[in-house]
Amino acid sequence: MSDGLHVIDKASFRQIQVSVDADGIAVVLLDVPDAALNPLSDALVAEFDAALDQIVARSDVRGVVVGSAKSAFAAGWNLIELLTMLESVADARELHAQTPGLSKLLRRLETCGKPVAAAINGLALGGGLEIALACHYRVLAEGSAAKVGLPEVLVGLLPGAGGTQRLPRLIGIEAALRIMLEGKPVAPAEALKLGIVNELAPASDVMARAKQWLLASPEATQPWDRKGGGAVPGGRTLLDAGIGTLFMLAVPAATRTSLRNYPAPAAILASVYEGLQLPIDRGLAIERRKFAQLAAGPEARNLIRTMFINKGKADKLARRPAGVAPKPVQKLAVLGAGMMGAGLAHVAARAGMRVAVLDTTQALAERAREHAQRTMERDLKAGRIAAGQIAEVLERITPTTEYETLAGSEFVIEAVFEDRAVKAEATRRAEAVIAPDAVFATNTSTLPIAGLATASKRPQNFIGMHFFSPVERMPLVEIIRSKTTDESALAWTLDLAKRLGKTPIVVYDSRGFFTSRVFGTYCYEGQMLLQDGVKPALIENGGRFAGMPVGPLAVMDEVSLELQYRVVQQARIDLGADFREPVSWAVLRKFVEDLHRPGRKAGAGFYEYPADGRKFLWPGLAQHYPVQAAQPALAEVKRRLLYIQSLEAARCIEEGVLTSPADGDLGSILGWGFPSYTGGVLSLIDTVGVAQFVDDCRRLADAHGPRFEPCVSLKDMARQGKRFHAAA
């Protein structure tokens, strides 16, 4: 018996390993060089296809096992390769012609005439799971790391290599739709229960178990290739009980969630419904067409570029200065035990650091431990942590009122009240006791770092870290360097951000920095729409239908109109003759000074907040801001609310506040919920087209004022045919 595929030169295989054992079982191992998760690619598909040619031709091969030489099975397509392809095609027709590879290969695999088993030793997502679904038998490793799933919806796509056709035929439409529409991975026990896999085994045994099945099953056929096409669990047509109701409910639910901004959920539903009425080959053809239509649209490109490629680079600290040696933080000092400080202490303690939390009284300082305990008790109840972790984390948190307790801290995060004098006093007292080379980070959302750094005796180690609340859930940290911040301080701050599990962006010092400054324009524009006589409900729905988490008036209530009022007044003092009132200052001042409706905490703002019911828009708005007879179209409201943010982000690039468009896009999506289908504030301009965006802004400026006038750099880009993001 042959011990290898002598008909193929093994040196030609770079993405896979191929061999035949003494029992006649051909083993194909995915083994992408320099990659832990076996990303799929055209090169891998071509090699697998060539190997399959030879496997099928050999009479001594009794069966095939597909496995992995890595600790993971496969985690989907190489997204950089995919984005490059998406940006190079003209339309869906061209894309459809270029992307049959994996789908065609997997159909060949399951109909090759030999039984095929998948030995899934670890994570199998996207195309990785689709490979497994094309096998006649699937053995999955036990343990939390070996999850399976089809997350393509998260990048604006549908499973394009048979996932929308094989999974529902295997486990039923309802369960398959849930997996594909949510995009969440499934744990091994659930995968077995649903029927995604046939067997669980220790990771070290999955290959042996797969071979055992092959030797005992010399003939195997997929259910959908049997006579009659195979029964789909639960039915497949509107004539089957429950199927009509399922789709009648699923379509509006998907629309309600996506608000028609994300086409992938509707395409998944259509692919499943249309494809399951037909034989598998015609279903696969429908799937490929719908995949091409999605991939040719901007949403997939935007999501892939920002939320996966650029986020991955940020998480790997692409902005970290080279040549600075790491300095891991063992002891962190947090000044202030309010909501922000308590959240920071909890996150840091869970990351393994010892944390000293200082406040003006011991009772206030103890709030940090109390907050951590409450949060972890909820996590314990939800099964996210083990019981022993609570005491372990709490032991690392030391509440104190004495600055001497901070001695030896390598890093300080100041999260005290947003007042210059209070922050200056905290800076001076902390610097007197912390390590000589410690970094001092101020958590502020608006106050310029250069001004706060004047209280420091070592301004080269002074930096801004703008966290978002609640700290435990919000993924972003905006790192602000001033003109005095040196490279080492920036590098160590980025290191800490990564250890805290945050995605960092780096911006340069200015009033409001990037996130607060740009997000503020959304709130201001909502108030300007109100002042223009637009119906309040249309304003709020315009924000939501544009893809923002909540409407601009609701946001102002939550943030507090009074807080924003104080920020403006502080800017007036700081800037003197250079101060310019926000365009919506008249509305803000009226609500705070005249109407005494400062926001949700006071129970009155743009909304009413009854104690025994849901909030609703304050009926008195119509008295102060009469609704005009002619109302703008929803599309125009959406355009005003989104474009004003993108335009301000472009100004940040022009002024040097932002030096990376990728940071601007990530900051907007992760920081305040700018719609991800756009790719972020600057990707939105690229998607519209810079020249078209400039023309639209000029029209808006003519209609609504100079705040929409495009900045000089945008006009230059339009003339030169440039964009913010170069091709992948």
Burial of 386 (0-12, 13-18, 19+ CB in 10 A): exposed
Could you tell me the sign of the dihedral formed by the alpha carbons of 508, 509, 510, 514, in that order?
positive
CB 115 within 8 A of CB 218: yes
* Maximum Cα–Cα distance across the chain: 92
Strands 607-608 and 616-617: antiparallel
Residue with tokens 């431990």: 369
Dihedral (Cα; 362, 365, 366, 372), 10-degree rounding: -170
**Residue 476 DSSP class:** E
**Closest among 100, 285, 248, 264 to 173, alpha carbons compared:** 248
Measured N-to-C along each axis, helices 515-531 and 552-559 cross at an angle, to the nearest 10 degrees, of 120
Strand partners, 68: 30
What tokens does 308 get? 């996966």
Residue 596 annotated to the active site: no
Measured CA to CA in angstroms, residue 226 lies from 217, 235, 248, 279 at distances of 16, 16, 30, 11
Taking only Cα atoms into account, the Rg of the chain, rounded to an integer number of angstroms, comes to 29
Cis peptide before 470 (omega within 30 of 0): yes
CB 535 within 8 A of CB 632: no
> How many whole angstroms from its chain centre is CA 328?
27
CA distance linking residue 348 with residue 337, whole number of Å: 13
End-to-end CA distance of the chain: 48
H/E segment holding residue 430: helix 420-431
**Closest among 83, 45, 44, 61 to 2, alpha carbons compared:** 61
The active-site residue, picked from 466, 624, 704, 725, is: 466
CA distance linking residue 309 with residue 312, whole number of Å: 5
CA distance linking residue 691 with residue 696, whole number of Å: 9
What tokens does 395 get? 């032991």
CA distance linking residue 506 with residue 232, whole number of Å: 51
Strands 476-481 and 503-508: parallel
CA contacts within 13 A on the Cβ side of 535: 10
H/E segment holding residue 467: strand 462-467
Which residues are catalytic, by number? 466
